[in-house]
Amino acid sequence: MNISKNFLTKDELYVVNEEILQNDFPWYPMDNTLKGKAFPMMTHILMDRCDNNETPIPNSKYYYFFEKIIKRLCEKNKIKFTKCARASLNLSMANNKYPFISPHVDHRFKHTLVMIYLEDCSGDTIVFDEKYIKGDNIIDIESPKIKKLNTLKKIKPEQGKVMICDGSYFHTYGFCKHNEIRRVGVFTFR
């Protein structure tokens, strides 16, 4: 796992601040239901998911903007980038019922996970020490198994920070405070 503070360039931050974080940026509701528990959020799908090794199809002009950042991050960390399997921007808000969403892995195949933090806020990303091997890739938030998970790393969202890690680690995010919005980029690749 590698975490880089202030990874985004001045020009990239300009695009984030003057376009993506603006009120007219298109966000769409997403039924983010994990194990029957609803964790509603808004999303901007940069690229349709490629769970079956299909060719990535960009869904947003911002896909290429973020792909350049991912490739630069991979080069810095000497990680081979082949092709994206998932690329989206996610917007979440406070939740009164749960402290975080159900821990999960994004795919059942070997992949790398990248998080790009678009703004300062609460709602840490939590990476657990348990890896997905086979079977269910989601741990129900109300399962007793939650208490057995050990936190490997907590990452505080700070604008321009990026995190790259083995995507087989179960992870989640905490909900932000009631007066905040949490906006992040989530990317996976083979």
**Residue ranges making up the domain that contains 19:** 2-189
pLDDT greater than 90 at residue 23 = yes
**Sign of the torsion angle spanned by Cα atoms 61, 49, 103, 42:** positive
Instruction: Give, rounded to a whole angstrom, the gap between the first and last alpha carbons of the chain.
Output: 16
Q: Which amino acid is at 25?
A: F
Residue 35 buriedness (CB in 10 A; 0-12 / 13-18 / 19+): middle
pLDDT at 158: 98
Q: Which amino acid is at 75?
A: E
Average pLDDT of span 81-85:
92
Q: How far apart are the C-alpha atoms of 139 and 96, rounded to whole Å? A: 20
Read off the CATH number of the domain in which 18 is found.
Answer: 2.60.120.620
Whole-model pTM: value is 0.95
For 102, phi then psi, to 5°, come to -60, 130
The number of domains in the chain is 1
150 three-state secondary structure: coil
Average pLDDT of span 81-102:
93
Which residues have a Cβ under 8 Å from the Cβ of 55 and sit 6 or more positions away?
83
Which residues have a Cβ under 8 Å from the Cβ of 131 and sit 6 or more positions away?
166, 168, 169, 170
Name the DSSP letter for residue 16.
I
Q: What is the pLDDT of residues 129-166, one digit of tens each?
A: 999 999 999 999 999 999 999 999 999 999 999 999 99
Residue with tokens 């299909």: 54
pLDDT at 53: 84
